[in-house]
Amino acid sequence: MAGNPKRRSAGPDLTLLDAVALRDRIAAGEVSAVQLLEACLERVDARDHEVKAWRTLDRELALKRAGEADAWRKKGRPTGALHGVPVGIKDIIDTRDLPTENGTPIDAGRRPGRDATVVARLRSAGAVIMGKTVTTELAFYTPRETTNPHNPAHTPGGSSSGSAAAVAAHMVPLAVGSQTNGSVIRPAAFCGAVGFKPSHGLISRTGMLLQSRPLDTVGVFATTIEGAALIADVLAGYDQGDPDTRMEAPPRLLDLARSEPPLKPLFAFVKQPAWDQAEASTHEAFAELTQELGEQCDEVPLPDVFAEAIPAHAALMLGGFSRNLQRYYERGRDQLSERMRSAIEDGHKVTAAQYLTALDWRDVLYAGLEKVFERYDAIITPATAGEAPAGLESTGNPAFCTPWTLLGLPAVSLPLMQGPNGLPLGVQLVGPRGNDGRLLRTANWLVRHLNAQITSEAARQAS
């Protein structure tokens, strides 16, 4: 990380505003992009020696880009949806002016020749790329240096550990990550950020480390649902470099997230196959949550066949490793962790028949959800087994994300609860494939509803 030069204070309260408010204040000339970036860098100075969310942070380059954003606006030129707003980029996503090292010493000092599509879209929208956030080794399970911003003795989750921690610690208002199993939802839940994994294919993966084409999904982190919608709007859209993206109208996620549902949403509380792995405190918290929702929430059993989700996902993920990460195995096997080597070797054992069968399971299992989504606006379920576990040798259990990633469904983790140790406990909402805006609208309604209930209860107790 670069040094810590003295800077004029830009006001610590800026780092506590969400991305939409910051974008609007910059557009109105109430605050400059440089002032906002300086506030973020001050927050980095105060927190990152402990959190260690940033892999590469070129302060002078970021300040230069922020200054260019201010100069552009002052000339009266049109500005983009994220003009002047800093964004952190997971270090498996290529940036032309910063290293992309993929969480492995094998790629130390690697300098891509061009930006990933998502980075190019951020720049076109006026965002300031603040730096690269820490990822686990090749975006798999082996942790690196990042800690949980609420307690450094606990994991931040993974693999998008740095992106989640940086946003949760208010070092940057927005960050980009990725999910192949639980790599957006899990760290968002552990760190207390909003994490949004959109439908598979909504956002291009061109220029990103590929693990498994049927599973890999770009996701985002923010402090609010509206912030997540804002950046996802910028990133979404067709890209000829990614065959899984689709030619369709822009999703208008922010507009939908802000809108009122025509009817009060209905939630399907699902005890997915990993339910018995959840901690007792998670069981209790979700019992209270579903009771609070009352008639708007029903417990809905999943078909028994959903037990096939875990092995099907494993076949696709490990089979993808065998193909897409083999070059690391060949170039630097001794520099890979034992866990990473074993995963690639296990991928070698996945047969073509097993892989194709796993692909078929996606349609079979999704058919089992169609009736659920005909009646209910969203599935409500834990994001993780519980709070972030103590220790930094693991990133936690991703099983509560696995079925939804396998099926390519949009999911969002909301920091609505706390566990017994005072750490965040995420609530995961899952929506029908392709209905990302509706999911975010439902999530926004849930947050407002629960906040209103808390305010009402506080007023009742005070009277």
Angle, nearest 10°, between helix axes 59-74 and 19-27? Answer: 50
Cβ atoms of 409 and 431 within 8 Å: the answer is: yes
- Positive or negative, the Cα torsion across 318, 319, 322, 325? negative
Q: How many helices (H) and strands (E) does the chain have?
A: 16, 11
Active site residues: 90, 159, 183
Q: How far apart are CA 299 and CA 332, in angstroms?
A: 49
Adjacent-strand bridge partners of 104 = none
The vertex-19 CA angle with 384 and 86, nearest 5°, equals 100
Query: What is the SS3 assignment for 256?
Result: helix
Cβ atoms of 93 and 100 within 8 Å: the answer is: yes
The vertex-105 CA angle with 136 and 217, nearest 5°, equals 35
- The DSSP code sequence of 281-335 is HHHHHHHHHHHHHGGGEEE-PPPGGGGGHHHHHHHHHHHHHHHHSHHHHHHHGGG
Q: How far apart are CA 424 and CA 387, in angstroms?
A: 6
Cβ atoms of 33 and 67 within 8 Å: the answer is: yes
Strand (E) or helix (H) holding 455: helix 436-462
> Tokens 């609530």 — which residue?
427
Name, in order, each residue with C-beta under 8 angstroms of 58's C-beta and a sequence gap of 6 or more: 2, 97, 98, 131
Which tokens hold the place of 109? 């000092």
HSE-CB of 73 using CA atoms within 13 angstroms: 28
DSSP at 261 = P
Cβ atoms of 34 and 185 within 8 Å: the answer is: no
